[in-house]
Structure 1
Amino acid sequence: MKVFKFGGASVKDAEGIKNVGRVLESQGFENCMLVVSAMGKTTNALEKVVELYFGKEDFQHEITNVKQNHFDIADGLFSEKHPVFEEIKLIFDEISSFLSRNKSPNYDFVYDQVVSCGEIISSKILSAYLNQINFLNQWMDARDFLKTDDSYRDGNVNWEKTEKYISNFQRNICYVTQGFIGSDENNFTVTLGREGSDYSAAVFAYCLNAEAMTIWKDVPGVMTADPRKFKDVSLLSNISYEEAIEMAYYGASVIHPKTLQPLQQKNIPFFVKSFLEPEKNGTKVGMTDQNEYTESYILKENQVLIRIATRDFSFIAEDHLSLIFLLLAKYKIKISLMQNSAISLALCVEDKFNNIELLKAELNKQFNIEFVKGVSLFTVRNADLSDLNKFYQDKKILLEQISKQTIQMVTH
């Protein structure tokens, strides 16, 4: 079985949905699972609904806008009597109903129950359209199969249960399901983290022992840099799992950081290809003698630089580090770069859950701290270290670290 994942950009409108059909026509649709993201900017719009709800503002108006956008997309695909319109309406009615009766003050829990609806709707529309053009498939609710703990907005997969449920799939059927979502033991929806649809696809590929997994993007494949931020970029045709994992960890947006590990464990070939040019080879990630180690550039924006020092000029010792890391884990703040000296520790971190002020208050109790928000982490992989000056031009360097063929700079 093959696993194809289509992101939000590929299904952002009616023409995008039709193009998925054309991609499948060129690739083959036999024994295939399609994992789909929410359409276009739907996730952002539903996040706004949650913000308005907790701000005790008019969230219903935003729900109506999102619903109308999906009706407009469906209008471009189906006759007005198609049952998919009623399904869309029911999902948005469920959002309104949930918010009207909800008693939980847990932002992350409410977020997952609302924002996850974007994937449910997009997969319903895509499945219905493909059936309409005779790409026969069965719609499937990923939450019935992909089981997690209750870490809302950042769910951890329960591999034992997930493998057990997915192993019951019929192999001669094509499926359309959702990325990004699973469910906990109480069957509440749990999301896998922002941009987690790639990871969902990898989980399904692992549990199905898939012959290959392909992610369809609006770029030709994995590039030496983001073409929206850098000039003169080129395609990496073949890279190893290890190199792809390193690039994802350092912030390459084309691959979700968790995606590679389950694929590597079973040596499942992984392709990143363009839905605009599906006939082209794109990038292959896997075990091959043709792996490329080309100089690549990664820019991770919206980071926070934290400098932590002891107040009595004593060494930053194991007990200090233990406390600091405990607080980082407590507030789900991810370290992107770390550097320590005798009496201080510098951290470049990512604050996905907007908890940085809570961390700051806790650290302030015991340490002297300095916070610099809005910094960027610039990473060069497979760097040519013989000409370092070119990397420093026009940059205000706040922190730097050089290891074997990798340069990292925190810039402002």
Structure 2
Amino acid sequence: MKIFKFGGASVKDADSVKNVANIIKNEGAKDTLVVISAMGKMTNAFEEVIDAYYNKEEHLPEKLSFIEEYHKNIMNALFDTKDQIFKDIDILFGELGWFLSRNTSRRYNYVYDQIICFGELLSTKIVSAYLTKLGQENVWFDGRSYVKTDSNYRDAKVDWQLTEELITQNVDATKVNITQGFIAANDTENTTTLGREGSDYTAGIFAYCLNAESVTIWKDVPGVLNADPRVFSDTTLLEQISYEEAIEMAFYGASVIHPKTLQPLERKEIPLLVRSFVNPKETGTKVSKGTRLVPYIPCFIVKKDQILVSISALDFSFMVENNISFIFQKLHDYQLKVNLIQNSAISFSVCIDNKFNKFDAFYDELKTQFKIDVQKGVDLYTVRHFDEKAIAAIEEKGISLLTQVNKETSQIVVNPN
């Protein structure tokens, strides 16, 4: 069985849905499970619904109308108005409305997951109905019935034993199956999610449980490039990447492959293919056991809008284990992701993400016990397999604030201003 994953950009409008249908027809008309994300930027649109639900209730009807109109416009270009899909979509919007009117919980992460899942449910219903209209037999199913997790909303952990049992017993691997990425359910059947960009992970979960022959992630790029083309003008397609190398790149922040996707695939040596839905005849990139990198060239990973923090003791004493342990505990408490660490005798520096906007609270707590220097809005460049030319290219991006080098990897914090 093959696993295909299509992200939001691949189903952003009616023409895109038609293109996905053609790819399925040409590449996987049987023995295929298709994982699909919310359409276009609909995850962002649903996040605006959640924000309005909590903070700007008067804007809620407008936000919901935008989402409904967006999907209906796509449907009007694909279906006749009397087709069953219009009723199916109305039912989903009715379920969303029911939750918004009846929910009594104020737990943000719980509410987030109960609302955000509708993006994937809507997109998969539409794609499945369109395939049926073209005469392509397929089975739509709710992935929440099969992927089971704990109740850590927005970043749920998979119950692998139960999930594998449900998938192997219930998925017909001889069919074309359509399901949702990103979403799952806990033991009380409440929706959970696997973390942002978790649709790739969903593909990995199904591949592992079904012993798939491959996973293909269809993107709007030719494959995995050695650098982000939005940042670097000269990029090269990587034809082959080993699991080890891909995990290293994901760890440092490469956005093409979700960090959690690779582990289940590596355990069963299932190849991961990254191909272009714009040019589906191209072979793209293969991630598998074997040669670390083909071609073997420097690879650049960029994390924008970071915070560089340098922490030292007020009495200029050494930064030793007990200081550092305390700081790491606070970084954990405030959900600040550390992307670089550098320690000297009297200073401890970290480059961090402030995804949950808790840095100011972290700073306020630590400033009473430590001297803290902060630089916001910096960029972190990681270069795998660096050479002098690669380092020079980074140094042209701004003022270098901190550099860390090991055998394979160089990390440079740059002030772009």
Task: Assess if the C-alpha contact under 8 Å between 1:385 and 1:405 holds in 2.
Answer: no
2:213 alignment partner, one of 195, 211, 231: 211
Return the offset for 1:386. Answer: 7.3
Specify the code of the residue in structure 1 equivalent to 2:20: V
1:201 to 1:334, Cα distance in 2 relative to 1, 3 A: same
Q: Distance in 1 between matches of 2:339 and 2:66?
A: 37
SS in 1 for 2:148: coil
Task: Assess if the C-alpha contact under 8 Å between 1:26 and 1:279 holds in 2.
Answer: no
Specify the code of the residue in structure 1 equivalent to 2:2: K
2:328 alignment partner, one of 303, 325, 329: 325
Deviates more, 1:228-237 or 1:307-316: 307-316
Deviates more, 1:341-350 or 1:30-39: 341-350
1:184 to 1:331, Cα distance in 2 relative to 1, 3 A: farther
Task: Assess if the C-alpha contact under 8 Å between 2:28 and 2:176 holds in 1.
Answer: no
Task: Assess if the C-alpha contact under 8 Å between 1:198 and 1:255 holds in 2.
Answer: yes
1:202 to 1:116, Cα distance in 2 relative to 1, 3 A: same
TM-score, normalising length from structure 2?
0.95
Specify the code of the residue in structure 1 equivalent to 2:347: S
Task: Assess if the C-alpha contact under 8 Å between 2:245 and 2:292 holds in 1.
Answer: no
1:81 to 1:223, Cα distance in 2 relative to 1, 3 A: same
Question: 1:181 — aligned with what?
Answer: 183
Q: Distance in 2 between matches of 1:113 and 1:306?
A: 36
SS in 1 for 2:78: coil
Question: 1:356 — aligned with what?
Answer: 359
Question: 2:412 — aligned with what?
Answer: 409
Q: Distance in 2 between matches of 1:387 and 1:225?
A: 11
Per-residue CA distance 1:218-258 (angstroms, 9 max, x = gap): 00000111112211111111111111111112121111111
SS in 2 for 1:167: helix
Question: 1:200 — aligned with what?
Answer: 202
Unpaired runs of 5+ in structure 1? Answer: none
Specify the code of the residue in structure 2 equivalent to 1:17: V
Q: Distance in 1 between matches of 2:84 and 2:157?
A: 35
Question: 2:132 — aligned with what?
Answer: 131
Specify the code of the residue in structure 2 equivalent to 1:246: E
Question: 1:6 — aligned with what?
Answer: 6
TM-score, normalising length from structure 1?
0.96
Specify the code of the residue in structure 1 equivalent to 2:14: A
1:359 to 1:156, Cα distance in 2 relative to 1, 3 A: farther
How big is the alpha-carbon RMSD for the aligned residues of Structure 1 and Structure 2? 1.7
Deviates more, 1:329-338 or 1:230-239: 329-338
Q: Distance in 2 between matches of 1:407 and 1:167?
A: 43
2:279 is the alignment partner of 1:263: no
Question: 1:251 — aligned with what?
Answer: 253
Write out aligned runs for 1:81-92 (5 A): 81-92=82-93
Q: Distance in 1 between matches of 2:37 and 2:187?
A: 23
Per-residue CA distance 1:303-337 (angstroms, 9 max, x = gap): 22222222222222222222222222233322111
Per-residue CA distance 1:170-226 (angstroms, 9 max, x = gap): 222221001111111221111111111111111111111111000000000001111
Per-residue CA distance 1:67-112 (angstroms, 9 max, x = gap): 1100001111111011111222222222222122222222111111
1:365 to 1:223, Cα distance in 2 relative to 1, 3 A: same
1:228 to 1:281, Cα distance in 2 relative to 1, 3 A: same
SS in 2 for 1:299: strand
Return the offset for 1:390. Answer: 4.1
Deviates more, 1:306-315 or 1:23-32: 306-315
Write out aligned runs for 1:38-57 (5 A): 38-57=38-57
